[in-house]
Amino acid sequence: MSHQTPSSSNSDARSVAEAEDEKLASEHRSYSQGQLVRRRFLAHKPALISMIVLIFVVLLSITSIGFSGQGTGWWSKSFSDTGITVDGGRPTMFNEGLLGEHPFGQDSIGRDYFAMVMRGTQQSLLVALGVAFASTFLGVLVGALAGYFRGWIEAVLMRITDVVIVVPLLALAAVFGAYAQNLPGGTLTLALALGLATWTGTARLVRAEILSLREKEYVSAAVAMGAHPARIILKHMLPNSIGVIVVNATFAIAAAILLETTLSYLGFGVQPPETSLGALIQNNQNAFTTRPWLFWFPGLFIIAIALSVNFIGDGLRDAIDPRQKRTGASRPGWRTAFGLLGKTTAEERANRPVTELSGGPSQQQMPAGMTDRGPDLGHGPTEEKRDS
């Protein structure tokens, strides 16, 4: 081990305690929490690229047709104006110059499909983020309160959760969706209403996480200190369950896009003339064999959004968790993310000397089950546990 050599060679007589202290003192670099999170996130390549892709999609959809969707951006066509269908509505991208008249083509009544996809992207992102935010907020609130206070609070909250789970999601979402149609606020109201139907999974997972964190000694220490329950939940428990929450929120985003699609089909989602990516696919599913571009363009945007959000979630989880110390070559690249990293690469990586990207020698991390001098076979004296 490279980081031990300076101390171990002349430390025969020294106690372990002194050797450890010396090692600690010799490592000078230290970063604040914010710096660490930023460094780790930026070093997570898939997350970084996904972030760029997502920002690009968001900017594209907003700047092209503007917030109103009436062609107020650099793309002058409105998503709702009909026109004459040219050349069967075929895309003009790369055929007539770079973009042409209708880069993504036109639909059957001659609306510009690029403007429609952009509008759909705006609406779908709004729904996805709104649902993710609402369901995560509600789920975390219910789960944390139930897990922390136990007793009758838990009983009441979890029974409510059970009732919500028992009702089929689609039926519930349809009711909330139909109700939201009569409220002002349009798509955002719909998103928040859908959040009311999808928070249960998060609530149960967060509750389970909080239940296990409750038994941790650092939580006991905070209770013994006299800390308020709100502080314990917000400062100690939720940050430690951030992995579960972030992963769930990213799944919620992808699920929300699909849920909204289904609802639009049933007539309870985004209503025409307003449109969304899901609605576009839904409306044009019959055209798949004849005019496939009507299917592909919104589909591509859904995939791009869902994938990039998932990778960003991955990167955030790794970055926020200080126990994750993957650096240099061991950081996940694209091939690792897709599970394509072969055996030879792994071996090559194992032979390569450790590259130090974000920190001193202390940043090296043993694989699970290893102490820094060998495998942790689970019976060293540090494993000793007495009753407590």
Partner 1 sequence: MSEPVLSYQDIRVTFATEFGEVDAVKGVSFDVMPGEVVAVVGESGSGKSVTSSTAMGLLPENATVQGEVLLQGRSVLNMSTAERRKLRGAEISMVFQEPMTALNPVLRVSDQLIEALQVHDIAFGRAALEKSIELLERVGIPEARTRIRQYPHQFSGGQRQRIVIAMAIACGPKVIIADEPTTALDVTVQAEILDLLRELKDELNTGILLITHNMGVVADMADRVVVMLNGEVVETGPVAKILGHPEHPYTRRLLAAMPLLREAGDASLGSPRVSVSEPSRSAGEPTHDSVAPALQAKDVALEYSFRRRSTRVVHDLNFTVQPGEIMGLVGESGSGKSTVAKAVLGLLDVAEGELLVRGENMPELPAKQKKALKREIGVVFQDPAASLDPRFPIGDIITEPMVVHKVGDKNSRNARARELLEAVRLPESVLNRYPHELSGGQRQRISIARALTLDPTLLIADEPTSALDVSVQAAVLELFSELQQQYGFACLFVSHDLAVVDSLAHKVLVMQNGRTVEQGSTDEVLRHARQPYTQRLLAAAPVPDPATQARRRAERQRLLSVPQ
**Residues in 295-334 that interact with partner 1 by CB under 8 A:** 320, 322-323, 330
Contacts with partner 1, 62-91, as mask; x by CB under 8 A: ------------------------------
| Shortest Å, Cβ 36 to partner 1 | 8
| Shortest Å, Cβ 46 to partner 1 | 19
Q: How far is CA 68 from the centre of its chain?
A: 28
In the bound state with partner 1, the residue whose beta carbon lies nearer, of 184 and 215, is 215
Question: How many residues of this chain interact with partner 1, rule: CB under 8 A?
Answer: 71
Contacts with partner 1, 346-375, as mask; x by CB under 8 A: ---xxx-xx-------x-xxxx-xxxxxxx
In the bound state with partner 1, the residue whose beta carbon lies nearer, of 11 and 72, is 11
Query: Which of the ranges 42-50, 191-199, 214-222, 291-299 carries the binding residues for partner 1, by CB under 8 A?
Result: 214-222
Q: Which among 76, 84, 128 has a CA at the least distance from the CA of 106? A: 84
Query: Which of the ranges 172-180, 223-231, 256-264, 278-286 carries the binding residues for partner 1, by CB under 8 A?
Result: 223-231
Query: Which of the ranges 50-58, 129-137, 210-218, 305-313 carries the binding residues for partner 1, by CB under 8 A?
Result: 210-218
| Shortest Å, Cβ 3 to partner 1 | 9
In the bound state with partner 1, the residue whose beta carbon lies nearer, of 182 and 388, is 388
Q: Which residue has the tokens 């509600």?
A: 138
In the bound state with partner 1, the residue whose beta carbon lies nearer, of 273 and 323, is 323
Cα–Cα distances in angstroms (integers) from residue 180 to residues 119, 192, 257, 358, 377, in the given order:
20, 9, 17, 48, 58
In the bound state with partner 1, the residue whose beta carbon lies nearer, of 61 and 330, is 330
* Angle of the 293-320 helix axis to the 113-149 helix axis, nearest 10: 30
Using a 10 angstrom Cβ sphere, with 0-12 exposed, 13-18 middle and 19 or more buried, the burial of residue 29 is exposed
* Among residues 231, 285, 292, 303, the one that binds partner 1 under rule CB under 8 A: 231
In the bound state with partner 1, the residue whose beta carbon lies nearer, of 166 and 386, is 386
**Residues in 4-63 that interact with partner 1 by CB under 8 A:** 4, 8, 11-18, 20-21, 24-25, 27-28, 30-33
Does 381 bind partner 1 (CB under 8 A)? Our answer is yes
| Shortest Å, Cβ 315 to partner 1 | 17
- Is 303:257 a contact under the CB 8 Å cutoff? no
Does 228 bind partner 1 (CB under 8 A)? Our answer is yes
In the bound state with partner 1, the residue whose beta carbon lies nearer, of 211 and 266, is 211
Q: Which residue has the tokens 């919104």?
A: 298
- Is 236:224 a contact under the CB 8 Å cutoff? no
User: Using CA of residue 356, residue 359, residue 362, residue 367, what is the dihedral sign?
Assistant: negative
d(C-alpha 319, C-alpha 38), whole Å: 7
| Shortest Å, Cβ 249 to partner 1 | 18
- Is 299:40 a contact under the CB 8 Å cutoff? no
| Shortest Å, Cβ 143 to partner 1 | 18
Does 239 bind partner 1 (CB under 8 A)? Our answer is yes
| Shortest Å, Cβ 284 to partner 1 | 47
In the bound state with partner 1, the residue whose beta carbon lies nearer, of 2 and 344, is 2
| Shortest Å, Cβ 194 to partner 1 | 31
Cα–Cα distances in angstroms (integers) from residue 97 to residues 77, 83, 92, 118, 296, in the given order:
18, 21, 8, 20, 21
